[in-house]
Amino acid sequence: MVTKTEESELKNLEIQVDNGGGGAWEYLSLVRKLKVRRSDKVLKHGLSILNDSKLRSKLGADEWTLYEQVAVAAMDCQCLDVAQDCTKALRKRFSESKRVGRLKAMLLEAKGSWEKAEKAYSSLLEDNPLDQIIHKRRVAMAKAQGNISGAIEWLNKYLEIFMADHDAWRELAEIYSSLQMYKQAAFCYEEVILAQPTVPLYHLAYADVLYTLGGLENVQTAKKYYASTIDLTGGKNTRALFGICLCTSAIAQLAKGKNKEDKEGSQLQSLAAKALERDYKQRAPDKLPQLTTALKSLTLSS
Amino acid sequence: MGSNDLKYEVSQNAYIKLVLHSLKHPTSAVNGVLIGRISSSNDTVEITDAVPLFHSQIPLLPQLEISLILIEEYFSTKGLNIVGYFHANERSDDFELGGVAKNIGDHICRYFPQAAILLLDNKKLEALKKSKSSSAIMQLYVRDASKNWKLVQSDANNRFSLKEPSANVILLDYISSEKWNDIVDFDDHLDDISK
C-alpha cells in the first residue's frame, strides 16, 4: 500500500524515464521498494539497462537484483523468452541458489505447466518451509486455475503461519467478497483493523462489507466505521461521506418503528451531505446538480 | 412480444468504452452499466452509451447504489435509462457469469425488465488482433421466464448486433494507441471527484 507522496514520486520518475530523462535505476529501485506492479515499464527500462553493457557494469552487484526484477516483470507481461534469458544468466552465476530455483518454478507457472510448477514449489517448500513468496505463488496458481476453494484453503493455511501479513488478509477478504461470503470477508477485515487500526482503507472496506451484509445492527456498525474513516482522513474521503448518507437512510428504513436514532442520525447525514456538496462545488461543479438530487432522494427515503 | 424476441444493438461509443475499460485494468474484474432506450418500434433495445463503474471492490453494495442513483439522475434528464450491465471477469479463461453479476443484473431488471448483461469474451478479444471479424466480442445474456440468465447464441437470429460494423476496426486502432488511459470509471471518480 502506497502513500500519496510515494505515488506521486513514483509517477514523476516514471514520466521522467519515459521521456528519456534518465533515472531508470532510481525508478526501478523505487518500484522494488514499494512493491507496486508496473511490469510493462519495469520490463522496458530494465531491459534497456541490462542490454547496455556499460550501464550494466555500473550496477555492480545490483545487476543480479535487476535480473530478478526484470525476469518477474517479463513473466507478468508474458515475455517468457526474456524471463528465460534472465533466469539463465542468474543460474550461471548462482547455480545452487534457492532464489533462482524459485524463479525457475515461477517460469513453469507462467508457461502454464501447473503440475510441474506445483512439484517445484512443494520441493522448495520442503527445504524452506518459511518462504512466504512460495506460499503465495501456490495460492496464486490455485486462483489462476479457477480453483477458488483451493486458493482459500492455501491462503488460510498461510495465514495460520503468517498471521501478520495484512495483504494476505485483504486478498482473502476480496476472494470471500467475490464469492458473496460476506461474513467471512468481514472477519478478515476485523483482523487487519485490529492489527493496524489507523489505516482508513480497512475501516472503509469493513464498513462496505457490513453494509452489504445488511440488517439493522450491521448497518449501524457500518455507519460507525464510515465515521471513523472520515475521522482518520480528515473528512476528505468521498466514499465514506456517501456511505454515511446511504447508511442513515437504510437505518431509517429498517428501523421505522423506533424513534431513538432519528435526531442524531439525521444530523450526521446532513453534515455529510453538506461536506459532499461543498467538495463537489469546489472540484466538480458540473456534477453538482446530480449530486443534489441524489442526496435529496436519499434523505427523502429516510 | 416477450423479451425473448427483443434485439439488442450496441453503439460503437458504448462498445469501445467498455472494452477499453477492461483493457485498462487487465488484472482485475471490471464492470459497467449500459445506458439506452427501447427503440420506437419496440423491438430493439438500443444501447447508446455506457458508464464504466469499478475495477475494485466490485461485490460490495454501497458504491454500486450511489453510482446507480447518480447515473440514473444524469441520464434521465436526457431521456435514457439504465438498460443493462457489463462485466469482465478477472481471469482470461473464466467464461461464467458469476453470482455477483447475476445479482446486479437482477437488480437492474427490477427497473428495466428487458435488461441484458454483456460479458466480455476474452478469447474473441485475443482473436480480434489476428482476424478481422466484425462481430462483437461480448456475450449477451437475457433473463428468461424462469428468471434465470441465459446465454443468447451469438449467431442465431442476429439478436445481438453492433450498430456500426466498423466498430472493431476503430477498437483495434484505439488499442494500439493505448487510448484506454483516457477512460475514467466511477472508482476513479470516487477517489478524485474532479474526474
pLDDT tens for the 195 residues of chain B, in order: 344 567 777 787 788 888 888 888 877 788 888 888 877 777 777 888 888 888 876 777 777 787 887 787 778 778 888 888 888 887 766 777 777 777 777 777 777 777 777 787 777 777 766 666 666 677 777 766 666 777 765 544 455 666 666 677 777 777 777 776 777 777 777 666 666
List residues of chain A with CB under 8 Å from any CB of chain B.
37, 143-144, 146, 174, 177-180, 205, 207-209, 211-212, 238-239, 242-243, 246, 279-280, 283-284, 287, 290-291, 293-294, 297-298
pLDDT tens digits, one per residue of B81-111: 888 888 888 776 677 777 777 777 777 777 7
B139 lies in some domain? yes
Q: Does B70 touch chain A (CB under 8 A)?
A: yes
**Residue A175 pLDDT:** 86
Is residue A282 over pLDDT 80? no
- Smallest CA–CA distance, residue B163 to chain A, in Å, is 29
- Smallest CA–CA distance, residue A127 to chain B, in Å, is 32
Interface TM-score (ipTM) > 0.85: no
B1 lies in some domain? no
Q: Flag if B194 and A283 touch (Cβ within 8 Å).
A: yes
Q: Does B96 touch chain A (CB under 8 A)?
A: no
B32 lies in some domain? yes
Percent of chain A with pLDDT over 90: 0
B132 lies in some domain? yes
B158 lies in some domain? yes
Grid cell digits, residue B140: 449477451
- Pairing, β B149-152 against β B138-143: antiparallel
Q: Does B100 touch chain A (CB under 8 A)?
A: yes
**Cβ contacts of A222 within 8 Å, gap of 6 or more:** A206, A207, A208, A210, A211, A243, A247
Is residue A44 over pLDDT 60? yes
* Domain that includes residue B147, residue range: 7-191
B149 lies in some domain? yes
Give this prediction's pTM. Answer: 0.78
Alpha carbon distances (Å) from A15 to A24, A27, A69, A150, B35: 10, 10, 20, 40, 36
Closest residue of chain B to A143, computed from CA coordinates: B91
B169 lies in some domain? yes
Q: Residue A294 is nearest to which of B69, B99, B103, comparing CB atoms?
A: B69
pLDDT tens digits, one per residue of A93-152: 887 787 888 888 888 888 888 888 888 888 888 888 888 888 888 888 888 888 888 888
**What CA–CA distance (Å, rounded) separates A290 from A296?**
10
pLDDT tens digits, one per residue of A186-231: 899 898 888 888 888 888 888 888 888 888 888 888 888 888 888 8
**What CA–CA distance (Å, rounded) separates A171 from B187?**
19
B2 lies in some domain? no
Q: Flag if B191 and A238 touch (Cβ within 8 Å).
A: yes
CATH code of the domain in which B16 resides: 3.40.140.10
When divided into structural domains, chain B yields a total of: 1
- The alpha carbon of B107 is separated from its chain's Cα centroid by a whole number of angstroms, namely 15
- Smallest CA–CA distance, residue B92 to chain A, in Å, is 9
Interface test with A, best of B67, B69, B185, B188 (most A CBs within 10 A): B69
Closest residue of chain A to B90, computed from CA coordinates: A144
Please state the rounded mean pLDDT for residues A64-86. 83
